[in-house]
Amino acid sequence: MDLFKRGRIGNVRLKNRIIMAPMGTKPESDGSYSTNSINYFEERAKGGAGLIITGANIVSTKYEERPENELSDFHNVEKLAVLIERCHHHGTKVFVQITPGLGRMVYADPYTPPYSASDQAYSFWFPNLKCRMLSVDDIHYLTERMAYSASLAKAAGADGIEIHGYGGYLLDQFHSRLWNKRTDEYGGTLENRLRFTTEIITAIKQTCGTDFPISMKFTAYHGIEGGRELDEGVAMAQLFEKAGVSALHVDVGCYEVWYKAITTVYEKPMHQLFAARAVKQAVSLPVIMQGKLNDPKDAESVLKNNDADFVALAHQMLADPYWPAKVKAGEFDRITPCIGCNECLLGGFSGKHYYCTVNPLCYAEKDYQLTPAPTTKRILVIGGGPGGMEAAITAAKRGFYVELWEKGTALGGNMFVAGAPDFKHDVMKYVDYLKREVMRHNVIVRYDHAATAVTVLAAKFDKVILATGSKSKLPPIKGIENAAQAEDYLVAKKTPGDNVVVIGGGLVGCEAALDLSEKSKNVTIVEILDDILVTAIHSKNNDLSLRDHLKAANVKLVTGAKVEEIKPGMILFSQGEQKEELKCDTAVVAAGYSAVDSLEAELEDKVDLTTIGDAAAPRKIMNAVHEAYHAVRIFE
């Protein structure tokens, strides 16, 4: 495979063409890399990546607080050096990404106006905050600090650095007319708007030498009105090549369309291919492509077709650090798939570390390892959803005797509903993966086997894990018998008519509406709250993507509306004092879920019992998977 051909960036030789793309990590109090971060990166090196690019390291906190790691001081070198050395032990090279700042994208401070390229830009997260403009002296200061930080990275043993100049962050704010309204030598023409970055490149070369590789990560296309079009992105690539960088890491999007930059479950595979291909055709430098390359066949095709020289994977490397090794061994079906949920991103932007729904070991690589079972005790798992399957697999890995009782005839639980739409195919990949792992670990599965307290107690298991999931709620609406649950349409038990009304604008309701928009003429969401997705606790890029998909599909939204009655052919609803009618031949209910937990009361105090996932409280796939893993991990 071309994925495993050796490659080169500048004078650095790489063992393959697979790169772990930059993602942030949580630092120590002084900004240095934490022990957990070091373990996290080393695990990805063990997994076979040819190159790891760290997340952004800020070079100075003079203008904004540290967003994640900091590389501004000699004392930051020690931990970075340990990180790099550990990765080198496995033959993996490391580029350290450095940034002058986030600019208008600062997300932790709602009170202090952020700095940007000009004072006509506004904060993204806090739109009432007008930005302050960096002066020429400020720009020169940050240029010097970028060069100094590059020298610190080199001192730590880094194989190269990457300039953080993409995604609407500070350097990209200088690059774009959208945010850069300056009239001095750092504004106006494209060359002027790139001047801050090209001066940084020159300064790094002067400080670190011309043989120290520089990767330039930049945005070739924004995808918003007034943002960068691809022809300008290609011209930028040519100017960066002229400035002397060693590689171009091509990005797409900005926070206004964040899902174009950081993939969600709703995006199609290889969605950034067009940009990488255009840049590759215009320059002679190595080009790095990213953007949902999780399928090894897709990643391989990028190289085979000469659309890029390297492929970069981000969240897929959180889900499975061993993606490269498994691909090399031809074990495609052993890869734990990323499901595009972005719980990793949500965790980071909530002030926590970066979790992964499908990998409980992410960012806890040493802390949460499984140990062999001290004795071969017997574990019963009740329910074959994501939590139940994870519990059974984990128990089998530890060496316990394990049975899984499933009341139906297939494993998957509510993930069959969640993964039913075409745009949720990533979730179905995870269902299939878990089913394969259940079989591979020789878990005894008893289908069509509804558990009762009598049968469970009679079987005398040492541990029972209740993973019975949840069921859809029916709201107390007059005429509710004229409606059906969203899941009936998602799994094609029922066929919708031309005029569909979805009652409930939460996550399930919005996804059901989007799915039904492909099958019906008119789809309307009626939501009692003032906006859709208010109750959805998910990452902003997922939220933006789903809203934009609904808009593109012409799904109508009626918010602040209470459904009063469902009649054949119409629904009646009220908005304040107004009473309205809406034509409707298909009423779809998406009113949330309630736990299926009746066995809990019957079994507690009679057996060692742990209730997990939706059976404890309806939440997310991540709750089910992590609770399952840890329930088994700590069992003795």
Domain check: are 314 and 444 in the same one? no
Q: Kindly tell me if the per-residue pLDDT of 353 is higher than 90.
A: no
The rounded distance, in Å, linking the Cα atoms of 290 and 270 is: 8
Two tokens, residue 404: 């899984």
Number of domains in the chain: 3
Helix 425-440 and helix 386-398, axial crossing angle in degrees, nearest 10 = 30
The Cα-based distances of 185 to 23, 132, 170, 192, 206 in angstroms read 32, 18, 17, 6, 22
Q: Are strands 7-9 and 12-14 parallel, antiparallel or unpaired?
A: antiparallel
H, E, C per residue of 56-69? CEECCCCCCCCCCE
Helices marked H in 460-534 — which ranges? 486-490, 507-516
Asked if residue 356 is part of any domain, the answer here is no
Distance separating alpha carbons of residues 439 and 432, to the nearest angstrom: 11
- Which runs of consecutive H residues, i.e. helices, occur in 460-506? 486-490
What pLDDT band is residue 331 in, cutting at 50, 70 and 90? very high
How far apart CA 249 and CA 261 sit, in angstroms, is: 12
Same domain, 456 and 499: no
441 φψ region: left (φ > 0), alpha (ψ -120 to 50), beta (else): alpha
> 325 is written with which tokens?
């090794």
CA separation, residue 547 to residues 420, 505, 514, 528 (Å): 19, 11, 10, 17
582 and 502 housed in the same domain: yes
Catalytic residues, by residue number, are 169
**192 in any annotated domain:** yes
Alpha carbon 368 to chain centroid, angstroms: 22
Residues 107, 111, 113, 115, Cα dihedral to 10° = -40
What distance separates the 2 farthest-apart alpha carbons in the chain?
82
Amino acid (1-letter code) at residue 517? S
194 belongs to a structural domain: yes
Q: Is residue 361 part of a domain?
A: no
In degrees rounded to 5, what are phi and psi of residue 195?
Answer: -60, -45
Instruction: Extract the runs of DSSP E, i.e. beta strands, from 498-561.
Output: 499-503, 522-527, 556-559
Pairing status of strand 593-595 against strand 499-503: unpaired
Q: What percent of the chain has pLDDT over 90?
A: 97
Tell me, what's the pLDDT at 455?
98
Average pLDDT, the chain: 97
CATH code where residue 415 lies? 3.40.50.720
* Same domain flag for 296 and 385: no
Q: State residue 350's pLDDT score.
A: 86
**340 and 405 co-located in one domain:** no
Q: Say if residue 562's pLDDT is above 90.
A: yes
Shared-domain flag, residues 625 and 578: no
Burial of 111 (0-12, 13-18, 19+ CB in 10 A): exposed
Answer whether residue 454 shows pLDDT above 90: yes
Query: For residues 425, 431, 434 and 435, what is the CA-based torsion angle, rounded to 10 degrees?
Result: -120
- Specify the CATH number for the domain of residue 496: 3.50.50.60
- Residue after which a domain boundary falls, among 334, 349, 364: 349
Residue 203 lies in a domain: yes
**Rounded mean pLDDT, 116-137:** 96
**Dist. CA 335–CA 621, nearest whole Å:** 18
More confident residue, 353 or 132: 132
Spatial separation of the C-alpha atoms in residues 44 and 631, rounded to whole Å: 26
Neighbours of 173 (CB within 10 A): 28
Span 157-195, pLDDT tens digits: 999 999 999 999 999 999 999 999 999 999 999 999 999
CA-CA distance, 100 to 59, in Å (whole number)?
6
Instruction: Confirm if 526 and 456 have CB atoms less than 8 A apart.
Output: no
249 pLDDT above the threshold of 90: yes
Burial (CB < 10 A; 0-12, 13-18, 19+), residue 226, is exposed
Distance CA 23, CA 294 (A): 16
Give me the mean pLDDT over the 613-623 stretch.
97
Q: Answer yes or no: do 33 and 138 share one domain.
A: yes
> Which CATH number do you get for residue 88?
3.20.20.70
Distance CA(100)–CA(149), nearest Å, equals 10
Asked if 207 and 159 sit in the same domain, the reply is yes
- Of 211, 177, 210, 207, nearest in space to 194 by CA: 177
Domain assignment of residue 342, yes or no? yes
Which amino acid belongs to residue 490? L
- CA distance linking residue 169 with residue 250, whole number of Å: 15
Residue 190 shares a structural domain with residue 92: yes
In this structure, are residues 344 and 356 in contact, taking their beta carbons and an 8 Å threshold? yes
Do residue 467 and residue 484 come from a single domain? no
Q: Quick one: pLDDT band at residue 109, thresholds 50, 70, 90?
A: confident
Which residue has 């004078």 as its token pair?
Answer: 11
The CA distance from 309 to 298, in Å, is: 14
Question: pLDDT class for 349, splitting at 50, 70, 90?
Answer: confident
pLDDT (average), residues 125-144: 97
Q: In what order do the strands lie in the sheet with 444-446?
A: 444-446, 401-405, 378-382, 463-466, 609-611
User: Does position 108 have pLDDT exceeding 90, yes or no?
Assistant: no
Confidence at residue 351, expressed as pLDDT on a 0 to 100 scale? 84
CA–CA gap between residue 163 and residue 143 (Å, rounded): 11
Residue 75 resides in a domain: yes
CA angle 7/12/15 to nearest 5° reads 40
State yes or no: pLDDT of 352 exceeds 90. Answer: no
- List, for residues 302-321, the tens digit of each pLDDT value: 999 999 999 999 999 999 99
Same domain for 244 and 303, yes or no, is: yes
> Which tens digits make up the pLDDT trace of 30-89?
999 999 999 999 999 999 999 999 999 999 999 999 988 999 999 999 999 999 999 999
Closest-CA residue to 487 (of 467, 466, 502, 468): 502
DSSP string over 115-176 = EESSTT-B-SSSTT-BPEEPPHHHHHHHHHHHHHHHHHHHHTT-SEEEEEE-TTSHHHHHH-
Domain that holds residue 389: 378-472+594-633
| Residue 440 confidence (pLDDT) | 97
CA terminus-to-terminus distance, the chain: 44
Instruction: Identify the three-state secondary structure at position 276.
Output: helix
Q: What is the pLDDT of residues 458-479, one digit of tens each?
A: 999 999 999 999 999 999 999 9
Q: What's the rounded Cα separation, in Å, for the pair 605 and 112?
A: 54
285: closest CA among 338, 328, 247, 342? 247
Domain identity same for 404 and 497: no
Kindly give, in sequence order, each residue whose CB lies less than 8 Å from that of residue 305, ignoring residues fewer than 6 positions away: none
Residue 191 lies in a domain: yes
- Please check the confidence at residue 96 and state whether its pLDDT lies above 90: yes
- pTM check: above 0.85: yes
Which backbone phi and psi does 604 adopt, to 5 degrees?
-65, 145
CA 101, 104, 108, 109 torsion-angle sign: positive
